[in-house]
Structure 1
Amino acid sequence: MFWRRKEKEAAAAYERLAGACDECVEDKVPRGHVPVLVGEDDGPVQRFVVNVRLFRDPRMAALLDLGAQQFGHHQQGVLRIPCDVDRFRRIIDVISKTR
């Protein structure tokens, strides 16, 4: 089970990072989820914890591309998506209902 080994390695790497920077981690992120900051420059920014399965959807891929265009591929810290918070919630709801 190659993918299980990779999943365990990723979880262990996250635990090492979380342990090294406790002041950076607000809450524990459940396994299989990614913390994301969502918000536009002039609006409110909100933290979401998103299931990694949702990133397979083309709508999420488009949002990640938008973030890469604005912030670059080598962002430091939490992943940031430049999107209206309400719009992001609607996208997550639609994706969750279709899966």
Structure 2
Amino acid sequence: MKNCEIPKGCLAIKVGQEGEKQERFVVPVLYFNHPLFMNLLKEAEEEYGFDQKGTITIPCHVQHFRNVRGLIDRDNKSLHHLHVRCFGF
């Protein structure tokens, strides 16, 4: 995937603590409504304010972000299965 190719419904962000190499992640916009991701955005607001130019940067360790992403994905899969069961599929 080229840098400019971001799938519809996704957003590119940068993740990394000061002094740590930042990594780029492409995440679904649905993440932005998840409480765990909101906490990360709050940290970004406290670190950089609302005047961030360009890509949103999350100031946390990359491994911590990967762990949070895994929890969010697991929550979303659980909700999907719950939703499917409600409709008998």
TM-score of the alignment, normalized to the shorter chain, above 0.5:
yes
Q: How many residues align?
A: 75
- 1:1-99 equivalence runs, <5 A: 26-99=3-76
TM-score by length of 2: 0.79
Deviation at 1:27, TM superposition (A): 3.0
CA distance in 1, matches of 2:59, 2:17: 5
Number of the residue aligned with 2:84? none
Which 5+ residue runs of structure 2 have no aligned equivalent?
77-89
Please list every run of at least 4 consecutive aligned residues from structure 1 whose deviation after the TM superposition is greater than 2 angstroms: none
Higher relative contact order (CA 8 A, sep 6+): 2
Aligned residue type for 1:43:
E
Deviation at 1:42, TM superposition (A): 1.2
CA distance in 2, matches of 1:28, 1:56: 23
TM-score by length of 1: 0.72
CA distance in 2, matches of 1:54, 1:70: 20
Which 5+ residue runs of structure 1 have no aligned equivalent?
1-24
Deviation at 1:56, TM superposition (A): 0.9
Q: Between the two proteins, what is the percent identity of the paired residues?
A: 31
CA distance in 1, matches of 2:41, 2:72: 15
RMSD: 1.2
